[in-house]
Amino acid sequence: MHKSRLGALIIDCQVDDLETAAEFWSAALGGRADQGDPEGRYIEILGDGAEPRVILQRVEHPSRVHIDIETDDIPGEVARLERLGATVVEVMERWTVMQAPTGHRYCIVRARRDGFADKANPWD
């Protein structure tokens, strides 16, 4: 048995300066931008811990939004989603990129939100 749920909304930003992007999005959504990582690739907009995380990611491709599904078993969750018709795009060290039958790309990541054990969906 493993579990999964919507983990985060990733706001992929095709920008040089992610801090300026974070100023807009933290003000727009009413959260507080964290310090980000040393390479300036990620800044989280901290808000209500009960909701999916909101994370800005600096990217080279055009700006878009994608979903992260969090799980306690990445290979098990990937296999479950493949059975539903999704395909694996790329296996990274810490996450796997998949594509839905609807064409959306999304990532399978390790569970990091609060309350995962109680609130995530159990799968046989």
Residue with tokens 């999704």: 86
- Residue 117 in contact with a second copy, rule: CB under 8 A: no
Q: Which of 43, 54, 78, 107 binds a second copy (CB under 8 A)?
A: 54
CB 62 within 8 A of CB 14: yes
Report strand pairing: 64-71 vs 2-13: antiparallel
- Residue 119 in contact with a second copy, rule: CB under 8 A: yes
DSSP H/E element including 22: helix 18-29
Q: Which of 24, 41, 75, 87 binds a second copy (CB under 8 A)?
A: 24
Q: Which of 43, 69, 74, 111 binds a second copy (CB under 8 A)?
A: 69
* Among the residue ranges 34-42, 50-58, 88-96, the one whose residues contact a second copy (CB under 8 A): 50-58
Q: How far apart are CA 58 and CA 77, in angstroms?
A: 26
Q: How far apart are CA 18 and CA 39, in angstroms?
A: 10
- Residue 4 in contact with a second copy, rule: CB under 8 A: yes
Residue 116 tokens, joined: 């995962």
Give me the residues that bind a second copy (CB under 8 A), please: 4-6, 9, 11, 13-15, 20-21, 24-25, 27-30, 47-48, 50-52, 54, 62-67, 69, 81, 84-86, 100-104, 119-121
